[in-house]
Amino acid sequence: MENNRKVLFSIKDLNVKFSLRGQMLHAIRGISLDIYEGESLAIAGESGSGKSVLMKNLIGLLDKNGRIESGSIMYNGKDLAKFKNEREWRTIRGSQVAMVMQDPMTSLNPLKTVGWQVSEALRYNQNKRGNEAKQCAVEILADVGINDPERRYNQYPHEFSGGMRQRVVIAIAMACNPRLLICDEPTTALDVTIQAQILQLLKELQAKYNLTMVYITHDLGVVANVADRIAVMYAGDIVEIGTCDEVFFNAKHPYTWALLSSLPQLGERKSDLFSIKGTPPNLFFGVRGDAFAVRNPLPMAIDFLHRPPYFQISPTHKARTWLLDPRAPALEPPEQIESIKDI
């Protein structure tokens, strides 16, 4: 990917902490990330790695017990990390950043018609009301692939199937006319057959409206087809980031290797599915060295002592692991991931 594209969001050295039962949980540990205009970026990692928390910072929906300890999030010349009140956030939400949540069964208000809920988004973001809003909402519903939108406009969410509801949620996000659309595991709650359709829809909408997309996922297989770049998160930090091809075929971080190894491969019957031993570190206590060291099958002594810096592999590819240090012994990635040819 060319390196001179316009940066939309620039996150610099972001630290987020949560106070939980009187203790401080360090959920985001110094992340820097640029989101380019028009790209689609996937953030992958296991549950609790901080991928959702990271993105919630862009829309001001951090849970009440969490706060930004340090760092900045630059957007349009403004630092979102300094935003204090709802009034400031309302300049961002909807019209600049929208989000599609995981579970379409619970993300729509059961007592309002689908059309009303789309129109509400139009009203507060595009200042369209009454008939104009209705017309526009019907168009958007048709746009996200809902048949007979005039009739569907007046129906309630319980009259829609799961896949159709997710289309409605996407329609609501589109009605906000955002520049950045965050998709928080948009297909996790759906049937596998529907997943592909929804991803295809998101891809089409992105092309049509020149959206910038961020996919949050724990399933690398899901994003392989839609993402330009992949950021792999572990324990509140991005351990590796690169283009889709670089992460899939030239991964450098042992955690990325482990993630890729655990992808089920069609037609492979030889062995059990790979799983990563151990549990992620407890973020209530400070993490020393490389957070993944304790689960790494072949750790080095330095992994337990010092946090690795980023090593640049290509202009678009970098990873945080001591393995890339010139003094480190050469270590080949596990053979399981050699078999990943196409996803």
Partner 1 sequence: MLAYIVKRVLRSILSVFIIICIVFVLLRMLPVEGYFGGRYDLLTEEQRQMELYRMGLLDPVPVQLFNFLRQLVTEFDLGLSSRIRVNVPVTTVIADRVPISVQFGLISVAIGMPLGMALGVMMSRKKGGVWDKAGTGYVAILNAVPAPVYMVLIQLYGTMLLGAPLTFRFDSPMSRVLPIITMCLPIIAINAFWMRRYMVDEINRDYIKLAQIKNVPTTTIFFRHVFRNAVVPMTNLIPLSILGTIWGQIIIERLYSIPGMGGLLIDAILARDNALVQALVIMFSAIGIFGLLLGDLLMAFVDPRIRLHKKGAAR
The answer to the question of residue 159 lying near partner 1 (CB under 8 A) is yes
Q: At what angle do helices 114-125 and 130-143 cross, to 10 degrees?
A: 110
CA distances from 156 to 44, 111, 167, 207, 332 (A): 34, 7, 14, 30, 55
| Strand duo 78-79 + 229-234: pairing | unpaired
The answer to the question of residue 172 lying near partner 1 (CB under 8 A) is yes
Nearest-approach distance from CB 89 to partner 1, in angstroms: 9
Q: What are phi and psi of 177, to 5 degrees?
A: 55, 55
Identity of the residue, 110 or 130, whose beta carbon is nearer to partner 1 in the bound complex:
110
Tell me which of 14, 42, 173, 258 binds partner 1, using CB under 8 A. 173
Identity of the residue, 90 or 151, whose beta carbon is nearer to partner 1 in the bound complex:
90
| Strand duo 97-100 + 180-184: pairing | parallel
Identity of the residue, 184 or 303, whose beta carbon is nearer to partner 1 in the bound complex:
184
Nearest-approach distance from CB 47 to partner 1, in angstroms: 17
Residue 29 β-bridge partners: 15
Question: Considering only 25-33, 105-113, 261-269, 332-340, which stretch makes contact with partner 1 by CB under 8 A?
Answer: 105-113
Tell me which of 59, 144, 180, 231 binds partner 1, using CB under 8 A. 59
Rounded-to-integer distance, Cα 264 and Cα 51, Å: 22
Nearest-approach distance from CB 204 to partner 1, in angstroms: 21
Rounded-to-integer distance, Cα 118 and Cα 141, Å: 8
Nearest-approach distance from CB 172 to partner 1, in angstroms: 6
The answer to the question of residue 40 lying near partner 1 (CB under 8 A) is no
- Identify the CA nearest to 253 among candidates 244, 240, 262: 240
Rounded-to-integer distance, Cα 239 and Cα 310, Å: 8
The answer to the question of residue 175 lying near partner 1 (CB under 8 A) is yes
| Strand duo 229-234 + 237-243: pairing | antiparallel
Question: Considering only 120-128, 296-304, 306-314, 326-334, which stretch makes contact with partner 1 by CB under 8 A?
Answer: 120-128
Kindly list the strands in the beta sheet with 7-20, ordered across the sheet, starting from the edge strand earlier in the chain: 23-36, 7-20, 66-75, 78-79
Tell me which of 176, 201, 260, 283 binds partner 1, using CB under 8 A. 176
Residues 74-103 that bind partner 1 (CB under 8 A): 86, 90, 93-95, 98-99, 101, 103
What are the residues binding partner 1 (CB under 8 A)? Answer: 59, 61, 86, 90, 93-95, 98-99, 101, 103, 106-111, 120-121, 124-125, 156, 158-159, 169, 172-173, 175-176
